[in-house]
Amino acid sequence: MQVNDDKPYDDINITPMLDLAYVLLVIFILMCTASVQGVKVNLPKASQAPALSKPKTQAVTINNNGKITLGTVPVTLQELEQKLQAAKAATPDIPVVVKGDSLTQYQGVMDVLDVLGRVGITQVGLATKTREK
């Protein structure tokens, strides 16, 4: 028996590709039907209010002149302590972010951190920017 090499191959055997396509189709059908099976129940309704809400973060800003603001309201250290005590009474685990200007005196930031320590606020963050290269 001789093989005739003069004839070019003009048809492609697609049987293995069809086998793979059928296997993938069966797997897809099984996975889709498996995810929707279950027992139907009537779920209870929840209230519209969020059940667990995060406390609103307070921002304390110290500018380069040493002026302190709580949110957008300018305050003194005594007013800051009073307002933070009231906020802590309402929300015991209130987070506070301290934003100090890069040109501010370090003592101003330390005074604010001292007030936060006296009030008993433990969730304190210091805001920074990434250094540009």
Per-residue model confidence as pLDDT tens digits over 1-55: 566 666 666 777 888 888 999 999 999 888 877 665 555 666 667 677 655 666 6
Q: Which alpha helices (DSSP H) does 3-119 contain, by range?
A: 15-36, 77-90, 106-119
Domain count, the chain: 1
What letter does residue 102 receive in the DSSP assignment?
T
Is position 109 within any domain? yes
> Which residue range is the domain that position 95 belongs to?
58-126
User: Which two three-digit tokens encode residue 114?
Assistant: 């001292």
Q: For all residues of the chain together, what is the average pLDDT? A: 81
pLDDT, tens digit, 9 for 90 and up, residues 77-87: 899 999 999 98
Q: In the numeric block, which tokens belong to residue 93?
A: 């685990």
CATH classification at residue 79? 3.30.420.270
- pTM for the predicted model, two decimal places: 0.57
